Structure 1
Amino acid sequence: MRLDSNVLSRANRMKLVMQFGVGLEGVDIDAAATCGIRVARIPSDVTGNATSCAEMSIYLMLGLLRKQHELQTAVQQKKLGEPIGDTLFGNTVFILGYGNIGIELAKRLKPFGVRIIATKRNWALHSNGGIIHDLVDEKGSHEEIHKFAGKADIVVCCLCMNKETAGIVNNSFLSSMRKGSLLLNIARGGLLDYSAVFDHLKSGHLGGLGIDVAWTEPFDPDDPILKFNNVIITPHVAGVTEHSYRSMAKVVGDVALQLHAGYPLTGIELVS
């Protein structure tokens, strides 16, 4: 649903647009401000959304490492002991965008015996430096993403989608990745350049792709990129769990009551 200026200008009684989650790319925030409508998102760190997305990332990693499609083929063909997969243990994981989801992912990856590297625009602004220093083996700035991509066996895209990050995983970024490394995206489909990803899968440079988000949604099940045996896609369900949905629903209800009573709004992040 797109809340553009045409819709918002007609919403004479509207006071607040609240995203049931994090992404606000469907809302024209400037138009909302012009109309006197506040816009907010639900922070992922307090609702279990980040936790759910982190778990999905690990699901996709393991699915690619253990060759999920080939496993199913082996079952159908009554073969045992194949294919030979790989372990998460010993790999270097690059968390591209170390926010709430990245932190929850790092917490869960550490027991697997991986090396964690991460980039973030401003580490100094983070609210919990202790967690950062304990979990991340190497920290970098956003300007170093290509260098970090070259050090990783697995890259997990956790960036917010905006004008600066759209298509950021492009030909240059993918070429800087190690041959055979894996790419995961649990943020927004538009962060990845479709043609570049397709070409790197076709050439064999990219060892596998795991995505919970796609370039258009719902994604065409007959799209050529899904023909590759080393591609796993899920239908934008990383944050769709009973835990996260119940938690986010409670925030929505609480804020509605606060708004009705004229109290200050808590539990959400106002962006306008």
Structure 2
Amino acid sequence: MPLSPSSSAHEARAALAARLRELRLDAGITSKELAARCGWSVAKPSRIENAHTAPSDADIRAWCTACDVEKQAPDLIAANRQADQMYVQWRRLQRAGLRRLQEAAAPLYERTRVFRTYASNVVPGYLQTPAYATALLGTIAGFRGTPDDVSEAVTARMRRSRVVREGDHRFAVLIEEHVLNHRLGDADVMSGQLGNLLACMTLPAVSLGIVPENAAREGVVWPLEAFTIFDDTQVNVELLAARVRVTEPSEIELYEEAFAQFTRLAVYGAEARALILRAIEALG
């Protein structure tokens, strides 16, 4: 099951590039002539047509003008922006700090009815305590060199997380066992966070499963990057360098199948509580 979290973006870019090439061919002009009409280097049209260079809005307008199809520019610009939103570097999303990113996601959280989250690195944001979120976001801000608005970002994250207890939402959460033992903050922070997971397990809207470290994974999808499926319309994947938004139905189905396989590996109820309690005891 080959999961490529950035393939949706690549496919969208390739489709746009192919469409631009078709416009040039339909206009009956060569790549060299297009470059001359746009005032570009000879190599630029080829780089755009082969999806090696992402065109700007101005590039698309110039291209359409050169091909005498100005009316198509708005639709092509919209498609280009959609592709651009699929794979977005964290440094671009977080350049103004972390608070705005938390707030920008709030509408998605409000309208989503079913969340399916696979957590392979940290506790999911909507189940985090303020202290754990502070430790995590502080580490992120330091690593990526973003403006220090951690306190405001934590407040925004906690506000966004009210969907767990308010409104008509359901949450299916799968956490790899090693996340329980990866310490963020001091022992008190981790103990509080693990205790919060125990409390969240009692909420009627939350189903929490733990994937044991010794789970038999033969024939099952390998551990993946963290992802959340929002209803059945969008998947957000968190990479080190970027956030990937998957909207292609066939790729969403891949993540749904991966989630289903992890679901079968996970333990629930008393067994899951035992793993969390063991992690708390290990804190000393």
- In the superposition, the TM-score normalised over structure 2's length comes to 0.25
Who wins on radius of gyration, i.e. which is larger?
2
Q: Identify, as 1 or 2, the structure richer in helix.
A: 2
